[in-house]
Amino acid sequence: MSSLPYARSVAQPAQPAPRRAQAALLDALFARGVKLLMVVLLVVGLALPLIAMLGKVVEVQNGLAGVWQFVSSSRFLWLLGNSVKVSLSTVALVVPLAYVFAYAMQRSWIPGKRLLRSISLLPLMAPSMLSAIALIYLFGNQGMLKSWFPDGIYGFSGILLGQAFYNFPMALMILVSALGLADARLYDASVSMGANHWKTFVNVTWPGTRYAVFAASCLVFTQTITNFGIPVVIGGDYQVLAMEAYKSVVGQQKFSEGALIGSILLVPALISFAVDAWMRRLRGSQVSSQAATYVAPRNRVRDTVLLLAAGAIALALLSLVLVAVGASLINFWPYDLSFSLRHYDFETSGGVGWLAYRNSLTLAGLTALIGTPIIFTCAYLMEKTRGGWFDGLLRLLCMLPMAVPGLVMGLGYVFFFNHPGNPLGGMYGGIALMVLCCVMRFLTPAQMTATTALRQLNDEIEAASLSLKVPLATTYWRVTVPICLPALLEVFRYLFVSSMTSVSALIFLYSPDTVLAAVAVLNLDDSGNVGAAAALASLILLTSALVSVALYLISRGLLVHTQHWRSARV
């Protein structure tokens, strides 16, 4: 028999080695520490600002009567009417188009799917104002296609088209994943009973996707009604609530009015959030584990129609992007169409452009670098460890960012962190607070990505490592993180690009030194410097796209590199 030092002899009683107790202690610290950190972040960076904003409403003059007076004023009703009208119109325009596009992606054999899909993601790579700027170049007072809009692009139609462009990818993502889940058995049954295409669609496809259509509609409505970047650029005299909230806080220092409008804008978001959660519970898991993956049969007529439709949509999206980028490279639209980089020196705009761009890079980089490990680790611990009521609280708080529009969050930050009594007030105007704001704002989708990846891992991996007396943190680092690296990179990408392009919350938080690129786009446009605004927006687009492509290549390279152990799943 060999006699290794760690092998106990039969005679010795098995006493727990101190190292093992230490491992258990480390695990408890790791699990509770990260969860506690997340709760603190969510309370300070989300819950308290939200409460501060709601508290500000109380300060409206004359109390409840004042509130009533405000919401029953003809100006408020006019703004509300405008907001609702343009938001509903955007839903009516975007959701059917996105459905057709998603259908072409998931249920057809058309060529060039990857290219079409990539083009459809472009709107997410730039601030929302990019589309509005491009629309002005095309159909504005000096636009080359001005005649298409005899009544002018400024106003309802401009906002509608701009919002449609900006919201398309978000609606598309929901519908693509819904159409990706289909049970082939239902289609076989339908066809075997002699149903035609239309009947199969009505009886099988539509019931399977109508919740997603509703969810997408809610998302687009909420996004549109709370977005103010597009109305500021192209709204003209057609004013909306979100713009009013922004102006009353930033321009007129009417804080309580801003808070009141912010609270009102929270309502549709909360309602759609609650309805969505209720529906999810109602329908449970729609596709059973026995479901066979449905692959649509080839159909030349259908595929031709879908290719034309998806191609037209992609072309429209691409041309808006190209117009904005192209216009930024032209000397003086529409009088001198020669190539020029002069918009990129930002001299006429006081040189703020490059400072803002650097700040944005810093913000996006920090948000991704700090946010990714925190969000991913927290998602891991929520999936793989149990913490009783504390986990329930954390889960609830983690869903909250979904229900809070950026504008509302920004207002909350103003009221909470800018409050003279707040010891954290020193953070106001600094990059740290903006990082916190971005991590909180983009938390929920990032965490969902992480959770989806983590759920594919065997729970017994953690149990096995416990039995081997290895601390959870070690297994997380040595096993879970390497396996989940592609998902981790996706979270990183999402946080980076979202922070790079976001305006709505951050516009309330910057100081002259920390001005951000997306914010500067809005300011430049506001001061009539449309060329520079287009240039800066193009720069953001280019950066986001490059980072996305780079991360995609890294992720793919990683998959190839780790093929030897990924090929066969254990």
Partner 1 sequence: MASIPGHISTMPLSVQGIGKSFGNLSVLSDVSLEVAAGELVCLLGPSGCGKTTLLRIIAGLERQDAGRLLIGPRDISRAHPQERDYGILFQSYALFPNLTIEQNIGYGLSTRNLLRSQIRERVAQMLELVGLTASATKYPGQLSGGQQQRVGLARALAPSPSLLLLDEPMSALDAKVREHLRQELRSLQQQLGITTVMVTHDQDEAMVMADRIAVMNQGRIEQFDTPENIYRYPATPFVANFVGHANWLDYQSVSDGRVHLGPLSLQLDKAVAGGPGRLFCRPEVLRIDNQAQASNSVAAQVKHKLFMGNRYRLTVELEQLQGQPLVADISADLGAAPLDAERVWLTFPPHGMQAFPGGAV
Which chain residues interact with partner 1 by CB under 8 A? 1-10, 12-17, 19-21, 23-24, 27, 458, 460-461, 463-471, 474-475, 478-479, 482-483, 562, 564-570
Q: Residue 275 or 468: which CB sits closer to partner 1?
A: 468
Nearer to partner 1, 1 or 301 (CB): 1
Integer-rounded Cα radius of gyration of the chain: 26
Residue type, 26: L
Question: Shortest CA distance to 56 belongs to which of 367, 210, 264, 313?
Answer: 264
- Tell the smallest beta-carbon distance from residue 374 to partner 1 (Å): 23
By beta-carbon proximity to partner 1, the closer residue of 455 and 478 is: 478
Helices 443-455 & 389-403 angle (0-180, nearest 10)? 130
What would the 3-class secondary structure string for 75-120 be? Answer: HHHHHHHHHHHHHHHHHHHHHHHHHHHHHHHHCCCCCCHHHHHHHH
Helix, strand, or coil here: 293? strand
CB 353 within 8 A of CB 369: no
Least distance in angstroms from the C-beta of 390 to partner 1: 17
For residue 486, the minimal CB distance to partner 1 (Å) is 13
* 531-534-539 Cα angle (round to 5): 125
Pick between residue 301 and residue 570 the one whose CB is nearest to partner 1. 570
Cα(474)–Cα(482) distance, integer angstroms: 12
Dist. CA 106–CA 103, nearest whole Å: 5
Closer Cβ to partner 1, 475 or 501, answer by number: 475
Shortest reach from residue 467's CB to partner 1, in Å = 4
Nearer to partner 1 by Cβ, of 329 and 483: the residue is 483
Q: What is the rounded CA–CA span in Å between residue 524 and residue 530? A: 7
DSSP-H helix ranges across 10-47: 18-42
**Residue 383, number of CB atoms within 10 A of its CB:** 16
Which DSSP string corresponds to 458-502?
Answer: -THHHHHHHHTT--HHHHIIIIIHHHTHHHHHHHHHHHHHHHHH-
For residue 109, give the amino acid letter.
W
DSSP H/E element including 448:
helix 443-455
Q: How far is the CB of 11 from partner 1 (least distance, A)?
A: 9
Token pair, residue 120, equals: 């459809």
CB burial string 132-170: b at 16+ within 10 A, e below: bbbbbbbbbeebeeeeebeeebbbbbbbbbbbbbbbbbb
Angle CA(351)–CA(356)–CA(362) in degrees, nearest 5? Answer: 140
Comparing CB distances to partner 1, the nearer of 8 and 197 is: 8
- Smallest distance from the beta carbon of 303 to partner 1, in angstroms? 37
- Other CB atoms within 10 A of residue 80 CB: 17
> Least distance in Å: CB of 388 to partner 1?
12
Judged by beta carbon, residue 300 or residue 564, the one nearer partner 1 is 564
Q: Quick one: 426 or 482, whose CB is closer to partner 1?
A: 482
CB of 28 vs partner 1, minimal distance in Å = 8
Closest approach of partner 1 to the CB of residue 6, in Å: 6
| Smallest separation, CB 485 to partner 1 (Å) | 9
Give the C-alpha distances (Å, rounded to integers) separating 237 from 156, 157, 396, 521, 525.
9, 12, 40, 20, 16
Closest separation in Å from C-beta 567 to partner 1:
6
Which residue, 93 or 558, is less far from partner 1 as judged by CB?
558
3-class SS of residue 138: helix
Would you call 197 helix, strand, or coil by DSSP?
helix
Strand-pairing partners, residue 429, are 510
Nearer to partner 1, 262 or 471 (CB): 471
Task: Report, in Å, the least distance between residue 564 CB and partner 1.
Answer: 6
Q: What are phi and psi of 332, to 5 degrees?
A: -150, 95
Q: How many angstroms separate the first and last alpha carbons of the chain?
A: 34
Cβ proximity to partner 1, 19 vs 300, nearer residue: 19
Minimum Å gap between C-beta 475 and partner 1 is 8
6 or 335: CB nearest partner 1: 6
For partner 1, the closer of residues 462 and 525 by Cβ is: 462
User: What is the biggest distance separating any 2 CA atoms in the chain, rounded to whole angstroms?
Assistant: 97
Q: How far is the CB of 384 from partner 1 (least distance, A)?
A: 12
Residue with tokens 């650097």, as numbered in its chain: 358
